[in-house]
Amino acid sequence: MVVVCGEPALSDERRDNLRNPIVIIEVLSESTESYDRGIKFIKYRRIESLKEYLLIAQDAPLIEHFVRQENDDWLMSEASGLSNSIRLISIECGLSLSEVYDKVQFTD
């Protein structure tokens, strides 16, 4: 999922590459997790407009929240458990884990 504020800036002829996201949210899977945490996040960090990056676990109620700092460092925090939430500062929005994981049944 991607959040953009204002007019989307698209970069290629197919018009499917957004250049100005504010927030990017990835749902991790076993097959994509290392790519989402590694090379993909390295590429995302080059996007000047990007302020927040979220990684959502599939197998447990866990969200990792990366926030770009003024010096372009990224600060990571995490929320776990269905009673917790994440505050998306850049878009002034709260994200409850109980809502994110609504109807998800976890296996032990």
φ, ψ for residue 21, nearest 5 deg? -70, 150
Give yes or no for residue 15 having a pLDDT over 70.
Answer: no
CA distance 53 to 45: 9
Burial 71-106 (b: 16+ CB within 10 A, else e): eeeeeeeebeebeeebebeeeeeebebeebbeeeee
Domains of the chain by residue range: 2-100
pLDDT at site 40: 94
- Predicted structure pTM score: 0.90
CATH topology of domain 2-100: tt1808, chain A (3.90.1570)
Give yes or no for residue 91 having a pLDDT over 80.
Answer: yes
Q: Which residues are within 8 A (CB) of 105 and not within 5 positions of it... i.e. 6 or more apart?
A: none
Query: β-strand 93-96 against 85-88: which pairing, if any?
Result: antiparallel
